[in-house]
Amino acid sequence: MMERAKSLDSTDQNILRILSAYSSLTPLQLWYQIGEDGGIKERLREEEILDKLESLRAKGFVERVTVAKSSSDTRLLHYRVKTKASGEGLG
């Protein structure tokens, strides 16, 4: 997976690095962690974090561990780095 992660942009790589330090994070929690992290230079809105997480999910790097009750309620969504043990094989 590390070789595949090298093909991602620096923001995605930093999101994966931060997310891997926790069992899971919500988009808002990740947004706070990014704000404290010196590795990400650009300022991202919470909505952009959610978009990045969904993109990383589609690529097989992260998985959602909870489901929102509605499409507009992202407060309860939790994401974590996907491992071979937690889902399908990563190739």
Angle at 57 between CA 56 and CA 62, to 5 degrees: 85
Q: What is the 3-state secondary structure (H, E, C) of 25-87?
A: ECHHHHHHHHHHCCCCCCCCCHHHHHHHHHHHHHCCCEEECCCCCCCCCCCCCCEEECCHHHC
> 40 falls in which pLDDT band (50, 70, 90)?
low
The total number of structural domains in the chain stands at 1
Choose the weakest-confidence range: 10-19, 49-58, 64-73: 64-73
> 89 falls in which pLDDT band (50, 70, 90)?
very low
Note whether residue 39 is domain-resident: yes
Note whether residue 90 is domain-resident: no
Note whether residue 29 is domain-resident: yes
Note whether residue 17 is domain-resident: yes
> 37 falls in which pLDDT band (50, 70, 90)?
confident
Choose the weakest-confidence range: 19-23, 61-65, 72-76: 72-76
Q: Which domain holds residue 8?
A: 2-83
Specify the pTM.
Answer: 0.76
> 24 falls in which pLDDT band (50, 70, 90)?
very high
Rounded distance, CA 25 to CA 54, Å? 13
Note whether residue 91 is domain-resident: no
Rounded distance, CA 77 to CA 70, Å? 10
Note whether residue 43 is domain-resident: yes
Residue 11 has a pLDDT of 87
CATH value at residue 22 = 1.10.10.10
Note whether residue 89 is domain-resident: no
